[in-house]
Structure 1
Amino acid sequence: MIDISPLQADPSGNEAADCIAAMHAACIETGFFVVLGHGLDDEIISLFAGVRRFFELPQAAKERTPRINRYGYIPHRPSAIDISRASDNVEYLDIGLHAEVDVPAVAGLEPAVRRYQQAAISVAMTVLGALAAALGAQPEFFAKTMVNPQCRLRFLHYPAVQPDSHGLLPVPNPPHTDYGLITLLATDGIPGLEVKPVDSEWIPVEAPEGSLVINLGDMLARWSNDRYRSTPHRVVGPAAGDRVSIPFFINPDPGTVVDCIPSCITEGRPQRYDQITAGTFLTQRIDGSTEPYVDPYEGPARQANASPAPGYDGATS
């Protein structure tokens, strides 16, 4: 757990320096860390209340929010038997920043969504400023790319499941990496998220209710010339009860040029990637069978041109 409150209270103080060092180490090792002191406590409580009210609606009411241009509602399909398909054991709803789809008419949901989006973007900017400084760039390096950020707020509902005959829980959300810049994940404290560091088995992520899990996407790994990691993760079906989680995918302006940060290029680590715009990078990672902003994980070494799992809808975390 990393308390990020010093980043806002006294950015130049010793406690802030310790916080930045802890995040930097986590980004080098796994690209995952859990934060407290983010200041979003009230926004998270209000948002979860509204999201739960949405998922408690009759199915027909939920489906009044159609899927349009990869925004909107994807239903749970409990009759499916292929648990490698993400949407077989999870339902979800995607909301953008710019009215890409109407927020469902659930009491208190739209104001909670808009408050959370703005507050969470502020937290993301604080974290990204710290990481930019840790990488040797100016603290405002990433903030300058966020004039018109491309952000997606996703509500996920995982129904409780039973272990199979071998005592194993199904994996409703197959292994993948997020392929954008950074993801902020709010959870209800129910376990299920697991990460797979290099040369390691799957490790559960302990994230108490009210905390935020922050993970780096493939774009930030590329920007850092792979000094930072984008690590495969998955969700194991909850056995103790339903699980709700809310990832917020943060991406820069589409025209932003993603080029390896100069301080991340050394004699021992030459530049690994050509420059590319953020919009082109994301577009290249999306096809007809995937959803922003996730990339199916193809085993011990992710294959650069691998096809996604059939029917994989990309629900994450």
Structure 2
Amino acid sequence: MIARIDYLEDTESAAAPPIIDLAALNSKDAAAHQNLVDQIRKACLAKGFFQVTNHGIAQELQDAVFQQSKEFFNLTESTKSKYSQANHPNKLGYEPLRSQNFEKRTAGDLKEGFFIGRDLPLDHPYRQQNRIHCGENVVPTELASPSTFAEVTKTYHKQMTALAESILSIIAETLGLPSTYFAPFTHEAGAVLRLLHYPPQPVNSDPNERGIGAHTDFGSITILMQDDVGGLQVFDAATNSWIDVQPTPGALVVNLGNVMMRWSNDRYISNLHRVINKSGKERYSVPFFYSGKPDFEIGCLPGCEDEDGTCKYEPVTVQGWIAARHANTFKEAKGAEEISQLVKASAAVAA
């Protein structure tokens, strides 16, 4: 039996998320590897956010993804709307402006997006079962080179999947578990890439206007590539304030999602974050959401039980959890209700 870890340790709550070098990820230097584990553990406890360098994703590939994203969002609205994810059986394709509404204070979040999932053959069970974000990807034919769009995004999705699984292996170690512990969870996992475009917000716009409202991510971990415009902020429960996550050249932002927070019995934080783009510039970002195997049941990780051996949450499948969260923010606009609950949960963890 794995012993329960003492999670009560000092954290720099008011500091910005740390920048962590992943060079020691596969190092044979035990001390260097343990230092990496310790840094990530501290970040998961403090805010559930950190940036990573030496992650292995070539700058040329990152640039190519941004280029394809900009080409798509430069298409006319009528053209983009032809590829609406609302009409796709696996919810892949275009997300129009203000489709989501997390805080429910305006007409919706000031962003548009494009969903890209695992490109699966017709006979794959996930396509047969209409699994969310798993299926035949949408490739707009109006682009200068549709084949380039398909190849670049497929390559990036594949490499981000591998990176996410490597980071999960380290997160397992931070919890005193074997590095291979999450292998059943990552087998035939669901993951979605999301190209995002944020129009600039006027400086004198509605004070409630958001590029994306305060929210937590639905899955296990998110890996974000952002441009140099900025606007991403993470919530600090201890000081009740928002902290800027400054773009760092070559770095990717990593944050934990709801699945990991539930699975760790709230030991680790799925933190609130938002985007406010008052730079006067277009902002582009590319989050990669790693959900995990759709049928995998999330219960409570060994060593994360409460002192009396109980867990806060009932078991739930990954698919069930993700589908419910999408319904709340895309259809029912109940994001604000979840936010109030999650603020309380985050504050309790910080305390």
TM bracket (short chain): 0.7 to 0.9
Q: Distance in 2 between matches of 1:103 and 1:151?
A: 18
Secondary structure of the corresponding residue to residue 236 of structure 2: coil
Q: Distance in 1 between matches of 2:322 and 2:213?
A: 20
2:272 maps to 1:232: yes
Matches of residues 131-210 of structure 1 in structure 2 within 5 Å? 131-164=171-204, 170-199=209-238, 200-210=240-250
How far residue 103 of structure 1 moved from its aligned partner, in angstroms, is 2.4
Secondary structure of the corresponding residue to residue 215 of structure 1: strand
Which shifted more, 26-35 or 58-67? 58-67
Report if the CA contact (8 A) 1:191-1:238 is conserved. no
2:120 maps to 1:102: no
Matches of residues 286-297 of structure 1 in structure 2 within 5 Å? 286-287=326-327, 289-290=329-330, 296=336
How far residue 232 of structure 1 moved from its aligned partner, in angstroms, is 0.8
Q: Could you say which residue in structure 1 is the equivalent of 2:124? A: none
How far residue 295 of structure 1 moved from its aligned partner, in angstroms, is 5.2
| Identity %, equivalent residues | 29
Secondary structure of the corresponding residue to residue 255 of structure 1: coil
Instruction: Name the structure with the higher helix share.
Output: 2
- Root-mean-square deviation (Å): 2.5
Q: Distance in 1 between matches of 2:138 and 2:271?
A: 32
Report if the CA contact (8 A) 1:104-1:110 is conserved. no
Give the aligned length: 295
Q: Could you say which residue in structure 1 is the equivalent of 2:254? A: 214
Matching residue's letter, 2:48: G
2:47 maps to 1:26: no
Q: Distance in 1 between matches of 2:295 and 2:52?
A: 30
Q: Could you say which residue in structure 2 is the equivalent of 1:314? A: none
Q: Residues 86 and 23 (structure 1 numbering): CA distance in 2 closer, same or farther, change over 3 Å?
A: farther
2:296 maps to 1:256: yes
Q: Residues 38 and 296 (structure 1 numbering): CA distance in 2 closer, same or farther, change over 3 Å?
A: farther
2:21 maps to 1:3: yes
Q: Distance in 1 between matches of 2:39 and 2:337?
A: 27
Structure 1 unaligned runs (5+)? 305-317
Report if the CA contact (8 A) 1:74-1:92 is conserved. yes
Secondary structure of the corresponding residue to residue 286 of structure 1: helix
Q: Could you say which residue in structure 2 is the equivalent of 1:17? A: 34
Normalising by structure 1, we get a TM-score of: 0.84
Secondary structure of the corresponding residue to residue 122 of structure 1: helix
How far residue 55 of structure 1 moved from its aligned partner, in angstroms, is 1.3
Report if the CA contact (8 A) 1:75-1:91 is conserved. yes
Which shifted more, 106-115 or 217-226? 106-115
Q: Distance in 2 between matches of 1:165 and 1:252?
A: 38
Secondary structure of the corresponding residue to residue 263 of structure 1: coil
Structure 2 unaligned runs (5+)? 1-18, 99-103, 120-134, 345-351
Q: Distance in 2 between matches of 1:238 and 1:12?
A: 45
